Chains A and B, each alone.
Chain A
Amino acid sequence: MTEDQIAVFFASSLRLAMPLVLAGAGEMVSERAGVLNMSLEGMMLTATFAGALGSWATGRPAVGLACGVAAALVVAFVQAVLSVTLRANQLVVGIGINILALGGTTFLYREIFGPLSREIIPGFTAWHVPLLGDLPVLGAAFFRQVGLVYVGLAGVVVIWLALEYTAFGLAIRAVGEDPRAADQAGIPVARVRYAGVLVAGAMAGLAGVFISVGDIHTFTEGMTNGQGYLALAAVIFGGWIGWRTLAACLLFGTATALQFQLPAMGIEIPTAGLIMLPYVLALLAVAGLTGRHRPPAALTIPYQRGG
């Protein structure tokens, strides 16, 4: 590989990993609080559409960002009401939301943009980080991405720190492990779980906006194409631990980049195997074959006081 190819490879790996990194970090918080959002895919898809719409309508990508995150938060709120307050089956609710998000965004897209339009929307432009961006190889690989990458990575670190070192983080972990004990200790279980789901929603919103406004600069039907599920797999493979989840997301992003990069370099490999790899790894992880990592004890279990 030439230096250019190496730089392009790392740059595209990071770019393709970014939606997973963002959504995965938020989802990890929610799962640590005991709520599994199968709806992550739907939140992301809603945000890709709302972000694209906002940016297209106003000509300002920043407005798109706000719209996308707000829309994902609405979806997250629906998930929270159903799975925390109404104690509905979290997974079924998530699947329902994903179906609804796919139908809703496709419907609105066709009504607003017309079928099969590939209208280019105003997107974020790459930020050439001063000094660092001029480094050989490293500069082109890591320091000429859109600003959302750096903001997002900073957000991920803030999330880890908050989860480990703040009272809020402790409350999240407590309601995810033993909601009854947490309740008796005076922690408002429902409210903390709402907060967890909303954190997942906000981060999934950033992830979705990154895809449409930050990266591709258009919207297509079903654009997230399973990346929400891939982020769920990354959280599992990461064993519900911050840095491991980040590593899993980067690994999955790299696997995706490889399927484009290897054929470009003339290496013929079965791409299906590469795309499959993340799911196989996640399956091995949940089967406990890659080290023992225990899910939060109350994951997917609704809490009812006195119940």
Chain B
Amino acid sequence: MAILPRALPTAVVLPVAATAAGLLVGVGLVAATGASVREAVAAFWDGMAGSPFAFGASINRAVALTLVGLGFIFANRANLTNVGAEGQLAVGGIAATALALHGAERLPLGLAVAVPLAGGALAGALWGGIAGLLRVRRGTNEVISTLLLTFIALLMVYGSVQSENLLRQPMTSAATLPESLEIPVRTRLPTLLADPSSPLHVGVVLATLATLGVGLVLVKTAFGVRLRAVGFNEVAARRAGIRDGRLVVVALLVAGGLGGLAGAIMIQGEQYILKAGFTSGYGFDGLVVGLLARGSAAGVVAGAVLFGFLRSGGLSMEISAGVPAAVIVVIQGLIVIAVAGSAILAPGRDTR
């Protein structure tokens, strides 16, 4: 692609500058609380990568963010803004939990793990696909529909663990929490390392494959070119014989599917229990990652790793240095605003 060499510098410089500025403000905030910056940074580092557990947990976070971010850039290539990843995570988690608790355990080979994962991806794809269909058939702006679908999905998680007829664990006392049972061990993602303290699981392999897949499809295939054509100019693409309606639906199906897979991985890889709010903002963080990446799959990985480590470090900073983890949220917000605001400086791409 001829425009790459020229576009690359701004595409890299802007997010990096925004991230650096955000981190600087974060350090300033830490200093303003009167906490020792050195202590806070040390706690931050411990939480990110100070132990096999911390490192594994950070990478696992990055896995979910990578999948969501990849989905974002995939749909965004067709100039679609999928803000519904949080909901796609949620329905993916519901489907994976339901399958893991009802039957998947008895499947042979790796299917006990794979079937719930696939179910989660399918559910997410369906959720994204609804927005695609509405866009094509009814002209509904996908930003609004994916956002509304997100709230519906989050409430579905809430609702599904409220009733024993759905996914709530059997009520043995009034104190029984509104959550699902733990999913069976056989349906959980296997961990990768021999070290039992490391939670690093095979999700990282799936995320790597997804990154390669999305990167190749977007850059090397005719499908990627068609997506891009629709993104640039729908009318011209249609004249060139590209069936844009179908592409729009497929783009959102894929984005939703990646989100749903991420949701399934969050349940099967780490949480093992479905409960209200289990997505805890990963969908929105992943959206930010996708946005920072400016269309590059490698950029998504970089952003996801950054945010995965930031989240882990922030939690540790709060626990051991007494600095509110909200500092990390402030940094993330500043990065998004800085990147969005400086888009006017980037060549080529439409800001819509």
Binding site for B on A (CB under 8 A): 38, 78, 82, 86-89, 91-93, 95-104, 106-107, 110-111, 115, 226, 229, 232-233, 236, 270-273, 275-276, 279-280, 282-283, 286-289, 295, 300-302
On whether the beta carbons of B326 and A107 are closer than 8 Å, the reply is: yes
Excluding A88-B344, A100-B329, 14 further A-B contacts by CB distance (< 8 Å) are A86-B341, A88-B351, A89-B351, A93-B336, A95-B287, A100-B333, A103-B333, A110-B324, A272-B155, A272-B158, A283-B149, A283-B152, A286-B148, A288-B140
Q: How far is the CA of A236 from the CA of B351 in the complex (A)?
A: 23
The answer, yes or no, to whether B340 is at the interface (CB within 8 Å) is: yes
A103's partner among B33, B332, B340 (CB-CB below 8 A) is: B332
A92 touches B336 (CB 8 A): yes
Q: CB of B327 within 8 A of chain A?
A: yes
Contact B162–A103 (Cβ < 8 Å):
no
Whether B336 contacts A96 by the Cβ 8 Å rule is yes
A91 to B328, CA, bound (A): 21
Is A82 a contact of B148 with CB atoms below 8 Å? Answer: no
Query: CB distance A103 to B330 under 8 Å?
Result: yes
Closest Cβ–Cβ distance, residue A192 to chain B (whole Å): 20
Interface residues of B (CB under 8 A from A): 29, 33, 81, 83, 134, 138-141, 143-145, 147-149, 151-152, 155-156, 158-159, 162-163, 284, 287-288, 291, 324, 326-337, 340-344, 351-352
Q: Inside 8 A of B287's CB, which chain A residues have their CB? A: 95
Chain A min CB distance to B350 (Å):
9
Q: Which residues of B contact A279 (CB under 8 A)?
A: 148, 151-152, 155
Partner of A93, one of B140, B326, B341: B341
Across-interface contacts of B33 in A (CB, < 8 A): 111
| Chain B residue at minimum C-beta to C-beta distance from A236 | B144
Q: Which residues of B contact A288 (CB under 8 A)?
A: 138-140
A270 to B83, CA, bound (A): 27
When distances are taken between beta carbons in the complex, the residues of chain A under 8 Å from B344 are 86-88
Are the CB atoms of A82 and B337 closer together than 8 Å? yes
Within 8 Å CB of A96, what residues of B?
Answer: 288, 333-337, 340
Contact B148 A95, beta carbon cutoff 8 Å: no
Option from A78, A89, A286 in Cβ contact (under 8 Å) with B81: A89
Contacts of B337 in A (CB 8 A): 78, 82, 93, 96-97, 100
Which residues on the B side are within 8 Å of A301 (C-beta)?
A: 352
CA of A96 to CA of B352 in the docked complex: distance in angstroms? 16
Q: Report whether B340 and A92 are in contact in the complex, using a CB–CB cutoff of 8 Å.
A: yes
Residues of B within 8 A of A275 (CB): 155, 158
A95 pairs with B284, CB closer than 8 A: yes
Q: Given A99-B284, A103-B330, check contact A89 B159 (CB 8 Å).
A: no
- Tell me the smallest distance from the CB of A274 to a CB of chain B, in Å: 9
CA gap between A29 and B143 in the complex, in Å: 20
State the 4 A-B residue pairs at the shortest beta-carbon distance, nearest first. Answer: A100-B333, A272-B159, A103-B329, A96-B336
Query: Which B residue sits closest to A81, measured CB to CB?
Result: B341
Within 8 Å CB of B328, what residues of A?
A: 103
Residue of A nearest to B158 (CB): A272
A295 engages B149 (CB within 8 Å): no
Please name all residues of chain B whose beta carbon is closer than 8 Å to the beta carbon of A110 when the two chains form the complex.
324, 326
Contact flag A89-B343 (CB < 8 Å), given A111-B324, A271-B162, A286-B145: yes
Task: Select A270's contact among B145, B163, B291, B352, beta carbons within 8 Å.
Answer: B163
Q: Which residues of A have CB within 8 Å of B342?
A: 86
Decide: A106 and B333 in contact? CB cutoff 8 A.
no
B156 and A91 contacting across the interface, CB-CB below 8 Å: no
With a 10 A CB-CB cut-off, give which of A93, A104, A272, A289 has the most chain B CB atoms.
A272
Q: Is the CB of B143 within 8 A of A91?
A: yes
Give A272's nearest chain B residue, CB to CB.
B159
A111 to B351, CA, bound (A): 37
Task: Return chain B residues, CB-CB under 8 Å to A273.
Answer: 159
Beta-carbon contact of A93 and B151 below 8 Å: no
* Contact with A276, one of B156, B291, B332 (Cβ below 8 angstroms): B156
- On whether the beta carbons of B341 and A286 are closer than 8 Å, the reply is no
- Can you name 30 A-B residue pairings with CB atoms under 8 Å? A86-B342, A88-B340, A92-B81, A95-B284, A95-B287, A95-B288, A95-B336, A96-B333, A97-B333, A99-B333, A100-B334, A103-B326, A103-B331, A103-B333, A107-B29, A107-B324, A115-B324, A229-B147, A273-B159, A276-B159, A279-B155, A282-B148, A286-B145, A286-B148, A287-B134, A288-B138, A288-B139, A288-B140, A300-B141, A302-B352
Rounded to whole angstroms, the CA-CA distance of A273 and B29 in the bound complex is: 41
Is B162 a contact of A87 with CB atoms below 8 Å? no
For B163, the closest partner residue in chain A by CB is: A270
Asked if A286 contacts B152 (CB within 8 A), the reply is no
Q: Are A302 and B351 in contact (CB under 8 A)?
A: yes
